[in-house]
Amino acid sequence: MNEALGAALQAGDIMCRAEALVPMLRERSVEIDEARALPAEVVDALRNSGAFRMLMPRAWGGPEMTPMAINDVLEVLASGNASAAWCAMIQMDGGLYSGMLDAQVRRELFPSLDLATSNVLRISGYAQVVEGGFIVDGRWAYASGCGHADWFAGAVLLHEGDRDKPLLDAQGRPRHCMLLMAPRSLNRLDTWQTLGLRGTGSHDLEAVQLFVPEAHAFSLDAPGHEGAIYRWPAVLCGKMPGVPLGIARAALQEARAMMSQRQDLPPIWALALAEAHTAYHGARAHVRQSLQAIWDRLQAGETPSTEERVDVFLARSEAFHRARHAVEVLFDALGGGAIYCERSSLERHLRDLNTACQHIMAQRQGQLPAAQLLLGREDAAQFAFL
């Protein structure tokens, strides 16, 4: 454990540290974009803020924060820099994954509460079962923050020698699991050439005949740490809305500052500000309301209802699109002045949101399982992130 932070660091402390980082994150945003990675000093600042430990359990001295509190911190960080917030959003997942590991190795693999865990849930690797572990080959795209991560968790299909003949479970379905791998043991392929979220450094990672010990395997269906938050694996995506909402929040702050300098405020500016303000606050309220409802269920030891699960899923997706709409409205209204990077960050905010909205959990097609579940389709009920 990071002794400098101490075991008593709680949600309020982490929020205060996040707020203190905002000026530095804004100041270094151009550098972050140009480097297509977070500078070491920014990574250290995030680590020292407690951002990577937000899902760590109280039993280990972690804050075990609620979904609402996590989103609040991420929104603050994203108002400083979207790439930094995105990395924090992804890389706190070690707090969840550590509880799914065998109890004998959890603390051995996570000796610090502040380790950064990059991960890809899409099955993009093959793991041959051998004595003591697995021989792994694969290539995982979108490995956010992999350049500074302490661990990488990648999903793999299990087989015994012929990858075209995967091992099957009791229901006859292909068996798969997540494997913790050391990033230095993987090839990092420079693929992250994007318009937005450039600083996340979400390159591809490749494994070639890599041995991974059996103790590094876990399942997202496995029991986790004690505590309500760990009974809801979809918390992996339930914390995503904080990032787009934080970008929209920063855009609104900046647009208001620009508009306040004009004595003769054009009506189109005022209308755009009102529309963007409504979009941001409406999306934020929906996210918080849906998360609170599911959190109340979890704390009571109950299973969230179909409507509550769907509401969280759709509120998350809508947060991305309403945030982008808010920034688009402001960007269009401010005209040519919004395109100059030296004068405004709106152009970067719009690029970041356009890239973020391409995530599968934000795309419109990703809402299909939610709609199917509302219609009583049983197959959708198995969708892991509902």
Sign of the C-alpha dihedral, residues 207, 185, 144, 72?
positive
pLDDT of residue 381: 52
CB 67 within 8 A of CB 239: yes
Q: Is the pLDDT of residue 223 over 90?
A: no
Phi, psi of 188 (to 5 degrees): -95, 120
pLDDT of residue 279: 98
In tens, the pLDDT along 351-362 reads 999 999 999 888
pLDDT of residue 379: 65
Q: Is the pLDDT of residue 1 over 90?
A: no
- Report the amino acid identity of residue 111: P
d(CA 385, CA 344): 36
- The CA-based angle 238-242-245, given to 5 degrees, is 130
Which band of pLDDT confidence, cut at 50, 70 and 90, is reported for residue 380? low
pLDDT of residue 3: 40
CB 157 within 8 A of CB 137: no
d(CA 104, CA 120): 25
**Neighbouring C-beta atoms of residue 155, cutoff 10 Å:** 19
d(CA 235, CA 97): 11
Which band of pLDDT confidence, cut at 50, 70 and 90, is reported for residue 51? very high
- Report the amino acid identity of residue 196: G
CB 56 within 8 A of CB 111: no
CB 242 within 8 A of CB 70: yes
pLDDT of residue 361: 85
Q: Is the pLDDT of residue 383 over 60?
A: no
In tens, the pLDDT along 126-176 reads 999 999 999 999 999 999 999 999 999 999 999 998 898 999 999 899 999
Q: Residue 76, exposed/middle/buried by CB under 10 A (0-12, 13-18, 19+)?
A: buried
Torsion over CA of 144, 147, 150 and 155, rounded to 10 degrees? 40
Least confident of 91-100, 256-265, 266-275, 327-336: 256-265
Q: What is the pTM of this model?
A: 0.95
**Neighbouring C-beta atoms of residue 171, cutoff 10 Å:** 5
